[in-house]
């Protein structure tokens, strides 16, 4: 890799690790094709203690969004509540009374998966599809609902702050392939084909210590270096997620490309990418018992034509 990276670096990596056509011209699942029935059966055998960890942050108005990119926090409101019951507004119904509610939210505002239709680079998204495939009605290809039955596999946690002997990485601190390999070695775990890799930066712990989300949404952040592209490709993982807003180190290493690893991984590899996962409780348990692998289950909501989905990921040990 060159010392200074730019758009040409991104284009070179994109071409080098491109999976267009690997699973057929009509494929819309990308690297999730690495998850086989045999992989799922083996992952299920990792459940030995019955411990379940939710990796989702609360979906409420106190979330991390600041309006960056038009994203706001969820708005939850009641359609029918106790006041309707007490006032007699539901007396036309024999016997039964009820409460109903609704939520309005950008699909990428909290713990979420990116669909393969979420990102374009040089005019195309995964499997060489152009912008005409997504219009005001949603995505006609690479939409999140195509993944509704695929995100079950072996999960692996790579805890980078623990590797470096700190509580969290600082904003702008990059994670390199050697860090991922060193974390796996320290944890006595191997990363392999079809795994979902969860990468802890500790930014959630940093937020908690500060008592505020601050510039979490879109601001400076620890995260993956663009040089991790080769690691993602050669390990043939099914996907990865982090505890940050965008998974990549911000400021980005390429001044002329925003989120360059997204351009390589999502657009060209067809890789599943998750953001805003909370990994603190899971990381503490993994450090306690020395077990860094688990059954990972995180199906998206099958929202037709959506380019992302909120999710409540489960790590089961």
Q: Average pLDDT by consecutive 10-residue portion of the chain (317 residues)?
A: 89 98 98 98 98 98 92 97 97 97 97 98 98 97 97 98 98 98 98 98 97 96 98 98 98 97 98 98 98 98 98 98
Both tokens of 127, joined, read 């499997």
pLDDT at 3: 77
Contacts of 4 (CB under 8 A, 6+ apart): none
Among 112, 152, 127, smallest CA distance to 27 is for: 127
CATH superfamily, domain at 7-66+106-316: Putative cyclase (3.50.30.50)
pLDDT at 232: 98
pLDDT at 68: 87
pLDDT at 310: 98
CATH 3.50.30.50 segments of the chain: 7-66+106-316
DSSP H stretches of helix in the chain? 7-16, 37-44, 82-87, 160-164, 177-187, 203-210, 229-234, 260-262, 280-289
pLDDT at 298: 98
* Tokens 């195509």 found at: 146
Rounded distance between C-alpha atoms, residue 14 and residue 17, angstroms:
6
pLDDT at 171: 97
241 and 223 in contact (C-beta within 8 Å)? no
Peptide bond between residue 251 and the one before it cis (omega within 30 degrees of 0):
yes
pLDDT at 69: 85
First to last CA, the chain: 38
């Amino acid at each position: 890799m060159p010392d200074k990276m730019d758009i040409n670096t991104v284009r070179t990596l994109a071409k080098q690790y491109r999976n267009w056509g690997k699973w057929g011209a009509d494929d819309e699942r990308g690297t999730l094709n690495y998850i086989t029935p045999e992989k799922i059966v083996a992952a299920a055998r990792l459940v030995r203690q019955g411990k379940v960890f939710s990796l989702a942050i609360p979906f409420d108005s106190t979330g991390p969004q600041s309006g960056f990119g038009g994203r706001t926090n969820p708005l939850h409101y009641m359609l029918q509540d106790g006041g309707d019951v007490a006032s007699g507004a539901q007396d036309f119904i024999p016997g039964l009374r009820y409460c109903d509610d609704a939520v309005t939210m950008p699909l990428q505002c909290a713990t979420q998966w990116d669909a393969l239709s979420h990102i374009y680079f040089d005019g195309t998204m995964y499997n060489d599809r152009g912008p005409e495939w997504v219009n005001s009605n949603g995505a006609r290809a690479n939409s999140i609902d195509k993944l509704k039955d695929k995100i079950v596999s072996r999960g692996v946690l790579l805890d980078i702050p623990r590797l470096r002997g700190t509580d969290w990485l600082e904003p702008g601190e990059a994670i390199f392939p050697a860090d991922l390999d060193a974390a796996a070695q320290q944890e006595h775990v191997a990363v392999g084909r079809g795994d979902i890799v969860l990468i802890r930066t500790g930014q959630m712990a940093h937020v908690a210590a500060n008592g505020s989300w601050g510039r979490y949404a879109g601001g400076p952040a620890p995260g993956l270096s663009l040089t991790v592209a080769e690691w993602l490709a050669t390990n043939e993982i099914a996907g990865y997620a982090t505890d940050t807003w965008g998974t990549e180190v911000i400021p980005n290493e390429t001044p002329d490309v925003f989120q360059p690893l997204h351009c390589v991984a999502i657009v060209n590899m067809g890789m599943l990418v998750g953001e805003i996962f909370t990994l603190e409780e899971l990381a503490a348990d993994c450090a306690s018992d020395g077990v860094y692998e688990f059954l990972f289950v995180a199906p998206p909501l099958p929202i037709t034509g959506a380019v992302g989905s909120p999710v409540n990921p489960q790590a089961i040990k």
